[in-house]
Amino acid sequence: MTAAAITAGLAGPATAARTRIGREWTLALPLAAFFAVFFVTPLLLLVAVSLFADAEMTRFGLDQYVRFFGDAFNLAVLGSTLYLGVKVTALTLLFGYPLAWLYTRSGPRMQSALILVIILPLLTSVVVRTFAWIVILGRDGIVNTLLLSLGLAETPLRLLYTEGGLVAALVQVQMPLMVLPLITTLSRLDPNLLDASAALGAGPWRGFWKVTLPLSLPGIVAGCLLTYAASVTAFITQSLVGGGQMLFMPQYIYQQTITLHNWPFAAAISIVFMVSVLGVVMLFNLLGRASKGYVHA
């Protein structure tokens, strides 16, 4: 779902090569066929299942959607999931941008070290990374032990199974998705531009706001898209660090499908969730496009 939208967003302006395209497009056919069979078909099936009126799948009707939108609780779950993504994306950007910037400013040796640090989390499974956070945030965990030994807290704080803990874990888990696109954009940035702005009298901050930041917007948009899509759908991290009473859309779908066998309702909330995330993704895309106008102006 999001992958296609993201690629569309990253494709950028029309290339001159387009006029020269002949029969080469047929090379994309195998992948297109694969997508048609294993992505589009299941998606259509999902839509079809969501249109059953009852859990036993005997009648058609829009009942599942009526049920979803008729209950404020469901909307609250959807809202908190989308908002979770916003918080994680904002923090990832806040911490990731300086890291990416540092990378482009470092010498080759430092760069290899940094890229290793950035890529390393991707080389371990999400389960392992998430489990590490359970150890960090637990009552006897690293954070609590440190706070207690420094005398900053008298009793261990509750960090695990809280939204704050979950956001922290997600920010770390999804960080590479933000930093890698940022590095790509920032590395392509012509250093002469900053020198020019300095020569024309702009201070470092003004140079950053007027030159670096606008020119890196495509990277920011790409990084935000990836991070957002990955964090709202992060079933494993959400359930292991968020706990059993914090309900987000992925767990809600799992609960309805696996525990309650209510496939139509699960399908309906999946569709609602997908459309909502697509909506947010399109918003990011619009921002990205608007930013291009700004940069070229």
Partner 1 sequence: MTLDRRQILAAGLTLGAMSLFPGMSWAQARKLVFATFTGSWEEAHREVIVPHFRKATGNADIALDPMLSVDMIAKVSAAKANPPIDVMLMDPGPRLTVIGQDLAAPFPVDGSKNYKDLLPVAQLPEGPGIFFQAVGITYNPERVKTPPTSWDDLWKPEYKGRVGITNMNSTLGTAFMVELAKTRGGSENDIEPAFAALKELQPNLGGVAPNPGALATLFQQGQIDISPGNFNAIQILRARGVPVEFAKPKTGTIAFLTTAHITKNSPNAALAAALIESAMAPEVQTKLMQAPFYVIPTNSKVQMDGDIARMIAKDQEELKASFVFHDWSVINKNRAAWIERFNKEIKV
Q: Where are the alpha helices (DSSP H) in the chain?
A: 2-10, 29-35, 41-50, 63-69, 72-105, 108-123, 126-137, 142-149, 163-188, 191-199, 204-207, 213-215, 217-232, 235-242, 249-254, 263-296
Least spacing, CB of residue 102 vs partner 1, in Å: 34
Amino acid occupying residue 243: G
How far is the C-alpha of 72 from the C-alpha of 49, rounded, in Å?
23
By CB under 8 A, is residue 134 in contact with partner 1?
Answer: yes
Least spacing, CB of residue 153 vs partner 1, in Å: 13
Other Cβ atoms closer than 10 A to 118 = 19
Token pair, residue 50, equals 């969501």
Handedness of CA 140, 246, 260, 82 (dihedral sign): negative
Site for partner 1 in 245-274 (CB under 8 A): 245, 247, 251-252, 255, 257-262
Q: Looking at 186, 220, 222, 240, which residue binds partner 1 (CB under 8 A)?
A: 240
Give the x-and-dash track for 156-195 against partner 1 (CB under 8 A).
--x-xx----------------------------------
Q: Looking at 140, 154, 191, 297, which residue binds partner 1 (CB under 8 A)?
A: 140
Q: Looking at 141, 165, 176, 264, which residue binds partner 1 (CB under 8 A)?
A: 141
Helices 217-232 and 2-10 meet at what angle, rounded to 10?
Answer: 180
By CB under 8 A, is residue 135 in contact with partner 1?
Answer: yes
How far is the C-alpha of 57 from the C-alpha of 7, rounded, in Å?
36
Least spacing, CB of residue 72 vs partner 1, in Å: 10
Residue range at the interface with partner 1 (CB under 8 A); choices 18-26, 103-111, 120-128, 132-140: 132-140
With respect to partner 1, which residue has the nearer C-beta, 184 or 255? 255
Residue range at the interface with partner 1 (CB under 8 A); choices 92-100, 101-109, 127-135, 218-226: 127-135
With respect to partner 1, which residue has the nearer C-beta, 167 or 222? 167
Least spacing, CB of residue 244 vs partner 1, in Å: 4
How far is the C-alpha of 91 from the C-alpha of 136, rounded, in Å?
19
With respect to partner 1, which residue has the nearer C-beta, 163 or 184? 163
Site for partner 1 in 52-81 (CB under 8 A): 73
Output DSSP code: residue 53: S
List C-alpha distances in Å: 66 to 52, 71, 142, 172, 205: 12, 9, 46, 37, 51
By CB under 8 A, is residue 104 in contact with partner 1?
Answer: no
Dihedral, CA atoms, 48, 49, 52, 57, nearest 10 degrees?
Answer: 130
Residues 6+ away with beta carbon under 8 Å from 294: 214, 217
Least spacing, CB of residue 17 vs partner 1, in Å: 27
Residues of this chain that interact with partner 1 (CB under 8 A) are 73, 131, 134-135, 138-141, 158, 160-161, 239-240, 242-245, 247, 251-252, 255, 257-262
